[in-house]
């Protein structure tokens, strides 16, 4: 069994990571940390996770590395910068759910996150944590930078089309994405709390959301050239779930059936991606609680635009589930280990 520590386990993404790990056949959780909740039993914060025998602790990097050879960092940006170098030096494998090692150019990180990157020498070592896009780089990786929730859904929606050269070069790809309020974390801002979000839908972070450079970086890698992207996220009155609808100007005339064939070939054998039938589009409720992504598409012939939607659970495929999937690959375990749960039926 692989000994695991979850850092930041009291947050929503951390708690979801812990929930998945508690059912993992090849991993055992040896510690969970939260400075704010140190000393409390896990069930005092999350009654749904009762019976674990675990208590939140406030541990330093050395103590974390002593407890676990595998460490999940579910922490805000910059917090990983203070832990990852020490954990790696101690021989731990680090799976980072934050943004600190996703962007390959430290100047871009500093521009968008308004803080200096203190370990840029680790950026080339970090494997991007989106298995369906970069599985080979994850094998044997000791530092995984898990993809963000919005970039995950966007990349899964667009990857087959970009790889097939269907995009009109130089044309802007529009990404209209919507997420439940759990994406704001356990301590939401006044604008993302229940009273503000209930019975309301609003755009936020327009032209300024920090996932924008990650999306651009990933799309460029897929297409082999710069892909201009206009990314607009929205907050919707749901606890969890994320839907990204992408509008891709086409370089050629084609049909929905032809593009569906490309998508089905690209995702054949992928354990967590389902390409829906012609005429079907994904819904967040159909992936809720699972590590699955549903993709649906249609060609708008009148505007020569490919419209693709991808639905994921932002806390699972967009966070904890994806982190476990990446760790499985990095450590040579079955990729779906601990992730077999189907979506909730109702």
Tokens read off for 172: 């802007």
User: Catalytic residue among 146, 149, 310, 326, which?
Assistant: 149
Q: Which of 282, 286, 257, 15 is nearest to 156 (CA)?
A: 282
Question: What is the full DSSP assignment across 282-346?
Answer: --GGGTTTSS-EEEEEEEETTTTEEEEEEEE-TTIIIIIHHHHHHHHHHTTS-TTTT--PPPP--
Q: Dmax of the chain from CA atoms? A: 62
Residue among 214, 327, 334 at smallest CA distance from 271? 334
CA–CA separation, 174 vs 195, rounded Å? 30
Give burial (CB, 10 Å; 0-12/13-18/19+) of 235.
Answer: buried
Cα separation, 275 vs 282, whole angstroms = 9
d(CA 276, CA 271): 14
Question: Is 149 labeled as catalytic in the residue annotation?
Answer: yes
Give the catalytic positions in this structure. Answer: 149
């Amino acid at each position: 069994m692989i000994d695991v520590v979850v850092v930041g386990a009291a947050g929503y993404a951390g708690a979801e990571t812990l929930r998945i790990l508690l059912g993992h056949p090849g991993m055992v959780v040896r510690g969970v940390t939260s400075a704010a909740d140190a000393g409390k039993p896990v069930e005092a914060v999350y009654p749904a996770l009762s019976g674990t025998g675990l208590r939140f602790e406030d541990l330093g990097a050395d103590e974390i590395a002593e407890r676990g050879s595998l460490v999940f960092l579910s922490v805000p940006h910059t917090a990983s910068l203070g832990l990852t170098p020490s954990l790696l030096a101690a021989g731990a494998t680090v799976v980072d759910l934050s943004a600190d090692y996703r962007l390959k150019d430290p100047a871009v990180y500093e521009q968008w996150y308004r803080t200096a990157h203190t370990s840029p020498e680790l950026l080339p070592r970090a494997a991007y944590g989106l298995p369906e896009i970069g599985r080979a780089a994850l094998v044997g990786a000791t530092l995984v930078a898990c993809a963000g929730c919005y970039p995950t859904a966007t990349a899964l929606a667009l990857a087959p089309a970009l790889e097939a050269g269907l995009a009109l070069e130089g044309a802007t790809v529009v990404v209209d994405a919507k997420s439940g309020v759990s994406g704001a974390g356990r301590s939401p801002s006044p604008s993302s709390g229940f009273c503000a979000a209930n019975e309301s839908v609003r755009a936020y972070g327009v032209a300024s959301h920090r996932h924008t450079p990650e999306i651009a970086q990933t799309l460029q890698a897929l297409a082999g050239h710069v892909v201009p992207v206009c990314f607009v996220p929205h907050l919707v009155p749901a606890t969890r779930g994320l839907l990204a609808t992408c509008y891709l100007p086409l370089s050629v005339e084609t049909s929905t059936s032809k593009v569906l064939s490309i998508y089905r070939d690209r995702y054949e054998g992928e354990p967590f991606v389902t390409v829906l039938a012609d005429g079907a589009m994904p819904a967040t409720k159909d992936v809720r609680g699972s590590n699955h992504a549903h993709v649906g598409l249609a060609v708008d012939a009148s505007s020569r635009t490919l419209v693709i939607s991808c639905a994921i659970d932002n806390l699972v495929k967009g966070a904890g589930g994806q982190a476990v999937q990446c760790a499985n690959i990095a450590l040579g375990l079955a990729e779906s280990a601990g992730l077999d749960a189907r979506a909730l039926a109702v």
